[in-house]
Amino acid sequence: MKKSLLFIGALALIVLSSLGAQSTSSGSANGMTFNGATGLIIVPDARIGWGNSKFGLDIGYGFVWTGDQDMDHLPRFSMSIAQVVEIHGLFHFGNDSHADFKNMVLGAKFKLVEKGGSALALGGDIEFDNRAPDGGNDQVSSKIYLAATYGGKFFNAPAVTTATIGWQMFEAGNFAFQFVYGMGFSMSLFPQTFDNHVFWITDFGNFSYAVYRPNINAGSRGAFNTGIRIRPFKKGRFKMVIDLLGTDLLDAGQRGLGMSISGGLAF
């Protein structure tokens, strides 16, 4: 299973990266990942939410449902500052027999460079676990990552590819230094028909929106996620992005459905 996921992700990365660079805006919409960072589904990209405004604010809500009463509620926020810095956060609530506040994730991203259809960013996040597995006090996890994003075409449709690598330095207060990676793409669907309002998004990674108790369980063999991203408005100082998703689709017993809606204003 892990080899299959690696092959799918690597194939998408190699094919899309070989097709030439262009503007990233036509192949993707600046939507939120499930932990609030600008990006795909669980994989952040190298852009920020508002790359053409001095300040922008986005808020969003998402959920991941894996059957019965097992649902994660994921309210999020993101702030874009000076076109190069993004600060984001997630408040992770459960809907199981312990329905309560689970985790809080705070993160930041700094865009190192953007030229043409390519961008590079350095980011990281810190997670405060509200219910430690051993029943002890709240514990902290953190990771850092480097994200690269670039544009091209796939079957003559605008597409954007992202690859992310990094280190999970702490897990529940313990030094870990575990290698993390993710990759994925966003492709405009039938751009002549939908005028770059509808996108196919896909990603795969060995991390999730939270270290503990996320309904996308990427900890052992990675998670493959895919779905449709809809951008009703694509110009001006207001934006809205809606995601309809299938999560962790290659692992029986862990497959789920996800939905996300986010909107924001530029100032």
Task: Write the pLDDT tens digit of every residue in 94-129.
Answer: 875 555 888 999 999 999 999 877 899 999 999 998
pTM comes to: 0.87
Predicted local distance difference test score (pLDDT) of residue 14: 42
Give, in order, the Cα–Cα distances in Å from 219 to each of 15, 161, 178, 215, 248: 27, 23, 11, 11, 11
Predicted local distance difference test score (pLDDT) of residue 253: 83
Q: Is 160 exposed, middle or buried (0-12, 13-18, 19+ CB in 10 A)?
A: buried
Which of 3-17, 159-173, 210-224, 249-263 bottoms out in mean pLDDT, i.e. has the lowest?
3-17
Amino acid present at 101: F
CA distance 223 to 258: 13
Residue 56 pLDDT more than 90?
yes
Residues 6+ positions from 131 with CB-CB distance below 8 Å:
98, 100, 102, 212, 213
Give the three-class secondary structure for 179. Answer: strand
Amino acid present at 20: G
Contact 159, 18 (CB under 8 A): no
Predicted local distance difference test score (pLDDT) of residue 24: 53
Contact 257, 247 (CB under 8 A): yes
Amino acid present at 82: A
Helix then strand then coil, in percent of the chain rounded to 5, is 10, 55, 35
When comparing pLDDT for 192 and 209, which is higher? 209
CB atoms within 10 A of CB 17: 15
When comparing pLDDT for 254 and 244, which is higher? 244
Q: DSSP assignment, residue 27? A: G
Mean pLDDT of 9-35: 61
Give, in order, the Cα–Cα distances in Å from 175 to each of 74, 143, 181, 226: 27, 11, 18, 32
Q: DSSP assignment, residue 117? A: T
Structural domains in the chain, CATH included, are: 2-266 (2.40.160.40)
DSSP H/E element including 10: helix 2-17
Contact 211, 38 (CB under 8 A): no
Specify the pairing of strand 55-65 against strand 118-129. Answer: unpaired
Taking all residues of the chain, what is their mean pLDDT, rounded to a whole number? 86
Token couple for 71: 């649902």
Of 165, 166, 175, 97, the C-alpha closest to 139 is: 175
